[in-house]
Structure 1
Amino acid sequence: VHGMKGLACLNCHTDRTVDLRPGRGKCLFCHGGERTRKELIAGGTLDVEFFRPNKETINKAPKINVPKGAPMQFYCYECHKPHAKLLPGFDKCLSCHRDILNVGKHQLHIETVGLECTWCHKPHSWKVTKEAAKSVCTTCHAYREPLSFIR
C-alpha cells in the first residue's frame, strides 16, 4: 500500500531494526500529525539509518489499552498492515481475542447486525467505564450500566 504512494522501502525499513520492521516512530512520522512530525524532526535525524524518535514523543503517541502483565507489547504494524488493508477488520482483533465471542452479546452483534469490533471498541482509547457506555453503547441502546452489556 505505502509503496503505491511513492514511498521507497527504506522510508520505513532499515537493517538497523529487528527483522527489518519499522519502529513506532516511523509510523508516527507520517500518521502522527504536524506537531508530532516537528518533534520527531527536532529530536532526531531523518536519515533512515539513524532515525530514532525520543521516548517523550513515543509516549505522547496514541495508545492501545494493554493490561499490565499482558503477554505481548504492541507496535502499530501488529494491527495496521502497511502492505495490505490499512484499517484492520474484526478478524485481526479475533486473532488475539477469540474468546470474547463467547462473552455477553458479542456473537449476536456480529452475526445479526454485522458490527465490527471497532464500531464499539476504540482500540486506541476505549475502556469499560460508565462514560464509555454512555457515549458508545447509547448510539444504539438506551443507557444501562456498563457491565450489563457483558452479562
Structure 2
Amino acid sequence: MKEAFREWQKGKHRDIVCQTCHHLSILEQNQLLVTYVVKSDSKQFSQTHGRKKSWQECRKCHAGEVSQGSVTLKKSYGHARHVFMQRIDCKNCHKGTVHDFHPNENACQNCHKDKGVHGIGMEAFSCLKCHSFSEKTPSMIPKNRCIKCHNTLPQKSPMSNLLCHQCHKPHGQISTIPATCASECHRNETSVGQHGLHMKQGLKCLYCHKPHSWVVGKDRASALCSKCHAPKDPKHFIY
C-alpha cells in the first residue's frame, strides 16, 4: 500500500483523491473493514480493490473538453482514433502498474505488427519517438519532431512547408527516390518543357536537384550542365 501511495504522490494524478478512480463494492468495504480490525496492529496489510473499475473511470475526466490541464481525448487525434474509432481500452496502451499510467511503448506492436522502422540509426526507435498522440494530423507526426534530431537541415527552402514524411517513408522507403517526386507531386514537370526533355534523356530529379535545398543555382548548373552541353543560366530554364 505504501508503494502505491508513493507512486500516486509522484504521478500526475496526485491531486485527485483515490475514490475518484477506485470504488469499493459493499463486499469489498466489509472485507477491508474486517482486515483492518483483525490486522490493525501490523504495519501493513495487502489489499486489492477497484483495479478493473478504475480503468472505466478514465473517460469521465479525459473525455471532457477541459480537464485537469491534461490533453483530452477530443483534442487528441491519436486518442480519438484509438479510443472512439477503434474502441481500444485505455489499459491496452497505458501501463497502469501501481499508478504509473505512462504509455507502454511496446504495446503499439500488438496491433501494428507490419510497421517496422527501416531508417538507418532509427531501428531501435519506439513508435512514440516520432508519433505524438496530441498531434491533430492523421500522421500524428509534429512538423518539428524530425528537426529535433536532424537539426542541420535547412529550415527555409522551396519545399520547407512540406512534412518530412511526405517524401521519406520510415516504414517503407526511407531515402527519397525520383519515382517518389514524380508520382507524389511533380507529374506535370516530368513530361513538359525542359524538365520533360531532360527526363526523356534518362536523367533523374536528384541528378540536378540537391535534396532539402532543391534550387539549382548558377554554380551548380555550370558544373552539371557542362557534362552534356554548354552551361545555361538556370533562370532561363523553361518549364
TM-score (norm 1): 0.61
| CA offset digits 1:4-50 (Å, max 9, x no partner) | 711110111121112252123221223225xxxxxxxxxxxxxxxxx
CA deviation after TM superposition for structure 1 residue 132, in Å: 4.2
Q: 1:32 to 1:148 in 2, by over 3 A?
A: same
CA deviation after TM superposition for structure 1 residue 79, in Å: 0.9
Query: After superposition, where does 1:18-33 map in structure 2 within 5 Å?
Result: 18=136, 19-33=138-152
CA deviation after TM superposition for structure 1 residue 129, in Å: 4.6
Write the letter of the residue equivalent to 1:7: F
Question: Could you say which structure has the higher helix fraction?
Answer: 1
Task: Give, in whole Å, the separation in 1 of the partners of 2:192 and 2:176.
Answer: 22
Is 2:187 the counterpart of 1:98?
Answer: yes
Give the number of equivalent residue pairs: 119
Q: 1:128 to 1:29 in 2, by over 3 A?
A: closer
CA deviation after TM superposition for structure 1 residue 99, in Å: 1.1
Report the counterpart of residue 221 of structure 2 in structure 1: 133
Unmatched 5+ stretches in structure 2:
1-116
CA deviation after TM superposition for structure 1 residue 134, in Å: 2.0
Task: Give, in whole Å, the separation in 1 of the partners of 2:172 and 2:189.
Answer: 25
Query: After superposition, where does 1:1-150 map in structure 2 within 5 Å?
Result: 1-2=117-118, 5-18=123-136, 19-33=138-152, 61-66=154-159, 73-94=161-182, 95-113=184-202, 115-127=203-215, 129-147=217-235, 149-150=237-238
Verify the 8 A CA contact 1:13 1:20 in the aligned structure 2: yes
Verify the 8 A CA contact 2:194 2:238 in the aligned structure 1: yes
CA deviation after TM superposition for structure 1 residue 82, in Å: 1.3
* Larger Rg computed on CA atoms: 2
1:101 aligned counterpart, secondary structure: coil
- Aligned residues with identical type, % of pairs: 39
Q: 1:130 to 1:124 in 2, by over 3 A?
A: same
Task: Give, in whole Å, the separation in 1 of the partners of 2:147 and 2:235.
Answer: 34
Pairwise CA RMSD of aligned residues?
3.0
CA deviation after TM superposition for structure 1 residue 86, in Å: 1.3
